[in-house]
Amino acid sequence: MNSMQPGAGDASRDAIRIGDKVRNWREATRWGFLLVVFMRIVAALWLFQGLVRWAEILLPAHAIFDTMPSDRAIAIIFFALTDLLAAIGLWLATPWGGVLWLVVVASEAFLTILTPGFFNNPRLTLAIDVVLVITYFVLTWHAARERDAM
C-alpha cells in the first residue's frame, strides 16, 4: 500500500492479507455461526406458521371470508404472505430477512394486543416473540462484535 493513502499501514482494511493468520477459526466464527443457526431455526418455525395460514385460506372448514370480518381476513392474508417471505429471508441469513421478520413479529404483537381473540394463546405468542427477538438481538450484537474484532 502507498504510504500516502489514508489508512496506510492498517492491515485490517486490506482486502487480501498475505501471511496473516486467523487466530482461532472455530472461535472466530462462533457467534456468526450461532446467529445463522438461530435464523434457520426461526425460519423453519415461520415457514410452518405461514403454511398454517395458507391452510386457513385454501382448506377452510367453511367459507371463512364470507363470514369473517374483513380486517381479520386481511390480517390472515398479510401473515400468510409475510411469514413465508420472512422465512425465506431468515433461511438465507440476509439482513432484509431479519428486518422483515422483525416487522412481522411487531405486527403480530400489535395484533395480539389489539385483537385478543386473533391468536389461540395470546400470552404464549407474545412471550415466544419477545424471547426470540431478544435472542436475535443478542446474537446479532455478539456476531457484530466478533466481526469487528477480527
Q: What is the DSSP string of 81-143?
A: HHHHHHHHHHHTT-HHHHHHHHHHHHHHHHHHHH-TTSSSSHHHHHHHHHHHHHHHHHHHHHH
Packing angle of the helix pair 70-91, 95-114 (nearest 10 deg): 150
pLDDT at 15 over 50: no
pLDDT in tens, 78-121: 999 999 999 999 999 988 999 999 999 999 999 888 887 788 88
pLDDT tier at 30 (50, 70, 90 boundaries)? confident
Q: Render the burial of 50-67: b for 16+ CB within 10 Å, e for the rest.
A: beebbebeeeeeeeeeee
pLDDT at 17 over 90: no
Angle subtended at Cα 52 by Cα 89 and Cα 98, rounded to the nearest 5 degrees: 20
pLDDT in tens, 33-67: 999 999 999 999 999 999 998 988 888 777 777 77
Q: Which is more confident, 136 or 13?
A: 136
Q: How high is the pLDDT of residue 70?
A: 81
Domain range annotation of the chain? 28-149
